[in-house]
Amino acid sequence: MTVKQYEGSAFANGASTGPGELGIDTGGTFTDVIARVDGELSVHKIASTPAAPERAVIEGVRHFAADAGPDWRIVHGSTVATNALLENKLAVTGYIANTGFADLLTIGRQARGELYALEPAHSPVPVAPERCFEIEARLAADGSELVPIDPAMLDDLVARVRESGVEAVAINLLFAFLDAGPEEAVEHALRADNADLTIARGSRVLPEYGEYERGIATWLNAALGPAVGGYLKRLEDALDSVAIMHGAAGTVGIDQAADNAVNLLLSGPAGGLLGARFVARSAGLDRVLTLDMGGTSTDVALVGQELALTSKTRIAGYPIAVPMVDMHTIGAGGGSIAWVDAGGLLQVGPASAGADPGPACYGKGGEQPTVTDAHVVLGRLPASTQLGGHMGLDVEAARRALGGLADTMGLSVEDAAAGVLRVADEAMTAALRVISVARGEAVDDDSLLCFGGAGPLHACALAEGMGMRRVLIPVFAGVLSALGMLVAQRSRERSVSVLEPLADVAAEDAEGWLAPLRQAATEQLAQEGVATDAISEKISADLRYAGQSASLNLDWQAPEALIAAFHAAHEARYGHRFDLPVELVNLRLHLAGPEPDIALPQLDPADAAPRAAETTPVHGFEADVPIYEREALRAGQRFSGPAILREAVTTTWLADGWSAEVDGHGNLLLARE
């Protein structure tokens, strides 16, 4: 395979006749597209269009294919659901509960975020009281019927919902994971009254134990539904054969994605982890600590041979109990705005300049100082750089933006810029610790894999902060999430709550619980073109000691062996074990189609030492620093820092005391000397 870069793509601007494959990742600042046609890869980076995200996606597709027909495979990672939640742009949603449980989402778990604060901040109310509706129907804890549902109940409920004028409704009745009948009856009555109403019911969204977490997931699925559904409909009208990345790092057909809006949270970052795992395998690495730094946020994770999933994600303060990739996110990106707080301390983020106007150095009218502007002022992003292969830098605008901050702090512009980078680096180092050493995972012998448009600029500083000696800057580092879309498998995640002592569970019991889930998920994958004999499966279990509320997820095996494995896992995570019965909370089923046949390019071996394209002044160094064009590097070439490695979609800062080597696929292997 060969690699074609942005400027030289023979099939750019609609020249390709296809068929081909496109991976598209929409970020807060840029939309990244990577295309594969006849074994050749090409990338394109364009500014995102937050007001109408589909415009940038469609433009990215048209850049490579004037007519991306059904022969094209398009996989898209969307930020629409995540942004709608973070920005609180949710549909007006009603919540239906059993009598006495209308306030469930507001009461929550009674967990205080600030335990010792005398005046803690008020938590947002998910659903206003006037939009919470109760129904007398009730199931017992064993799924038996206590109060049957009847037509009079349904007529009264439908009338109240109609009068409220809500755009969406979430149905979350007690013990519906044992018997979905009452929820289905409510849904049927509501649809008969208003076919256009967006409806989510807990027994479908998250058929698991835990009414609060199930309720939040169901409410979010309903509240996000109109925005996500409208966006996907516009994409579907413009493009054929689009699959959507879900938060568990697999893809789903666009028709099914619209009904599962909550599962699209972390859609883009999941693609980044798939891309990281794919590239790490090519470099012979079994485990990497990943950092994806874009324009608005930074995502970190610990990635092994298999991606870790969790049902304990929190976004915007809400528990997201549907399975998602296990990662930690902070509001620090290339567009993060630097500011001085009331106490005189320098802060970076979480507010971002976004895509419009973006950092001051973009020359689009931005005036506030950002992390990217700091790199420009210090010379680590040289003035001659063309972002995305086509966007120049306005150095003077960056200096003006940092100048105001420098005056406030009484520093030179360069010292203020250096301070901005130190604060940002410390925030990202703290995030890396949360996902690794805070969980008892030693990473000294692992590699730090940095990607995203801004990540490689911080790689050396972050590795030093973590005590790590090796860094991997992958090929296509600036569009790795888009590459992850190309290597994603069609997949489904299903679960069933059990709540039984594990010692009382037989292997045939588990098979009986999983069989209907397997059949339904297999049928869905088959509808998307996956051959049933090509579907692989993985079974795992949520386990806990009797009396606990928190659980650990372990791969399924014979119950006797699983009990011993849980004791060991509990001791490894928490430092102790108990002589208590082990309880099986949930069984989880992961079904996936075959991995796409994608391979990284092979670079020609070097016949000479690398040559710098030019040199540039960098703050803190007397001599000018060499700039290497990454596209010109060949396998086996080595050089030492300080140096800048430039490419169309990202820039790498190789710090003093570090060396770099190019492997056979074009990945950069950095090492502390």
Sign of the torsion angle spanned by Cα atoms 210, 213, 216, 218: negative
**pLDDT exceeds 50 at position 516:** yes
Confidence of residue 599 (pLDDT cuts 50, 70, 90): confident
Which residues partner with 94 through β-bridges? 169
Segment 279-289 shows an average pLDDT of 92
Which residues partner with 133 through β-bridges? 96
Minimal CA–CA distance to 371: which of 472, 294, 289, 474?
Answer: 294
- Tell me the per-residue pLDDT of 615-625, one tens digit each, with 9 for 90 and over: 999 999 999 99
Q: What radius of gyration do the chain's Cα atoms show? A: 26
**pLDDT exceeds 80 at position 447:** yes
Segment 269-293 shows an average pLDDT of 92
Tokens 């509706």 sit on residue:
133
**pLDDT exceeds 50 at position 11:** no
**pLDDT exceeds 70 at position 1:** no
**pLDDT exceeds 90 at position 19:** no
Strands 298-303 and 288-293: antiparallel
The span from the CA of 432 to the CA of 450, in Å, is 12
Segment 376-384 shows an average pLDDT of 91
**Class of domain 491-592 (CATH, top level):** alpha beta
Segment 588-602 shows an average pLDDT of 90
Segment 641-668 shows an average pLDDT of 92
Q: How many CA atoms lie within 13 A of 110 on its CB side?
A: 0
Strands 536-545 and 582-592: antiparallel
**pLDDT exceeds 90 at position 109:** no
Sign of the torsion angle spanned by Cα atoms 550, 554, 558, 562: negative
Which residues partner with 447 through β-bridges? 288, 470
Question: What integer pLDDT is reported at residue 438 of this predicted model?
Answer: 87
The span from the CA of 93 to the CA of 531, in Å, is 39
Share of the chain above pLDDT 70, in %: 95
3-state secondary structure of 625: strand
3-state helix, strand, coil in the chain (%, to 5): 35, 25, 40
Q: Where are the domains of the chain?
A: 2-86+233-264, 93-229, 278-333+440-485, 491-592, 614-672
Confidence of residue 182 (pLDDT cuts 50, 70, 90): very high
Segment 81-99 shows an average pLDDT of 91
Question: What integer pLDDT is reported at residue 339 of this predicted model?
Answer: 92
Question: What integer pLDDT is reported at residue 553 of this predicted model?
Answer: 93
Calculate helix-pair angle for 181-193, 151-164, nearest 10 degrees: 50
Q: H/E element holding 451?
A: strand 447-451
**pLDDT exceeds 50 at position 183:** yes
Query: Which has the minimum average pLDDT: 50-59, 220-229, 370-379?
Result: 50-59
Question: What integer pLDDT is reported at residue 8 of this predicted model?
Answer: 31
Matching fold, domains 278-333+440-485 and 491-592 = no
3-state secondary structure of 369: coil
Architecture of the domain defined by 278-333+440-485: 2-Layer Sandwich (3.30)
Minimal CA–CA distance to 494: which of 539, 532, 527, 450?
Answer: 539
Cα distances (Å, whole numbers) of residue 425 to 291, 375, 422, 434, 522:
12, 12, 5, 14, 45
Confidence of residue 5 (pLDDT cuts 50, 70, 90): very low
Q: What is the mean pLDDT of the chain?
A: 89
254 touches 70 (CB < 8 A): no
Structure tokens at 396: 């003077």
- The CB density around residue 286, as the number of other CB atoms within 10 Å, is 11
Query: Which has the minimum average pLDDT: 12-16, 49-53, 92-96, 553-557?
Result: 12-16
Q: What is the DSSP string of 158-201?
A: HHHHHHHT-SEEEE--TTTTT--HHHHHHHHHHHHH-TT-EEEE
Long-range contacts of 521-524 (CB under 8 A, 24+ apart): 521/492, 521/494, 521/589, 521/591, 522/591, 524/256, 524/492
Of residues 645 and 364, the one with the higher pLDDT is 645
Question: What integer pLDDT is reported at residue 648 of this predicted model?
Answer: 79
**pLDDT exceeds 90 at position 124:** no
Q: What is the pTM of this model?
A: 0.87
The span from the CA of 599 to the CA of 39, in Å, is 9
Confidence of residue 13 (pLDDT cuts 50, 70, 90): very low
Confidence of residue 549 (pLDDT cuts 50, 70, 90): confident
Structure tokens at 590: 């992961």
Question: What integer pLDDT is reported at residue 573 of this predicted model?
Answer: 85
- Tell me the per-residue pLDDT of 392-443, one tens digit each, with 9 for 90 and over: 788 999 999 999 999 999 999 999 999 999 999 999 999 999 999 888 888 9
Confidence of residue 576 (pLDDT cuts 50, 70, 90): very high
Pick the CATH number of 2-86+233-264 from 3.30.420.40, 3.40.50.1100, 3.40.50.720, 2.30.30.90: 3.30.420.40
Q: What is the DSSP string of 487-535?
A: TPPBEEEEEEEEEEEGGG--HHHHHHHHHHHHHHHHHHHHHTT--GGG-
**pLDDT exceeds 70 at position 16:** no
